[in-house]
Amino acid sequence: MTTSSPRQRLDPDARRQQILSATARLLGDRPIEAVSTSEIAREAGVARGLLNHYYGTKRDLYLEVVRALTFVPDLGEIGTGSLRERAEAVITWMLDAATTRGRAWVAVAVHEGRQSDLEVRRILGEANDRAAHEILRGLGVEVSDQRHTYAIRALHCYGAMVKATALELIEGSSLTRPDAQCMLTETLLALVETF
């Protein structure tokens, strides 16, 4: 049984975020088709009409949650250390982003990418592109124009490995964070050699 927070007056941006967060929590356990707008409103502590006011349809809300959960944060500056040190920082960034979003991220970024919803696949593809470009930037690797498309596509494939690894960590398998970090770093370094 979920408990909703008492209703309180919030500015529109905070209210929108409250609704997104509530929807994401529910998606951690069930697909969007199995979640009603009444449940979302109850979880968010809002009147059901506010869902329509802020997001329009349930599908519009769902797509906004997908965008939020797959948002690629800026890697920031990771310094000018060795390629290995930069790779380790990139892996930490990726695993932190995935594991802090938890089960809702798994439901959207891992499982939803396998479905036939073209709009969801487009959003996930854009997120994969942004992540690949951030990884290249973070690594400080120069890629020739002829190899750039290859590098981005290779990093898309590598991203699938990162997602599978993050899923193992989130679901509490016997894989440890240090083992995951080591495995992903070594794989990324080997991949970069092909660029």
pLDDT digits (tens, 9 = 90+) for 104-139: 777 777 665 556 678 888 888 888 898 899 899 889
Q: Residue 45 maps to which CATH number?
A: 1.10.10.60
Residues 113 and 144 reside in one and the same domain:
yes
Token duo for residue 14:
């905070």
Contact criterion met (CB below 8 Å) for 40 and 19: yes
In a domain, 1, yes or no: no
Four-residue CA torsion sign, 35, 41, 47, 52: negative
Contact criterion met (CB below 8 Å) for 86 and 140: yes
Indicate if the pLDDT at residue 4 is higher than 60. no
Residue 71: the pLDDT is 79
What is the number of domains present in the chain? 2
Start-to-end CA distance of the chain, whole Å, equals 51
Radius of gyration of the chain (CA): 19
Percentage of residues in the chain having pLDDT higher than 90: 24
Residue 8: the pLDDT is 60
Whose CA is closest to 62, among 115, 105, 11, 120?
120
Residues 62 and 84 reside in one and the same domain:
no
Give whole-number Cα distances, 163 to 2, 22, 37, 107, 132, in Å.
Answer: 28, 23, 29, 11, 13
Instruction: Label residue 32 by pLDDT band (50, 70, 90).
Output: confident
Residues 151 and 174 reside in one and the same domain:
yes
In a domain, 125, yes or no: yes
- Average pLDDT of the residues of the chain: 84
Helix, strand, or coil here: 106?
helix
Residue 191: the pLDDT is 95
Domain encompassing residue 77: 72-192
Q: Between 135 and 73, where is the model more confident? A: 135
Residues 51 and 39 reside in one and the same domain:
yes
Residues 76 and 153 reside in one and the same domain:
yes
In a domain, 85, yes or no: yes
Stated pTM of the model: 0.75
Residues 60 and 90 reside in one and the same domain:
no
Residue 188: the pLDDT is 96
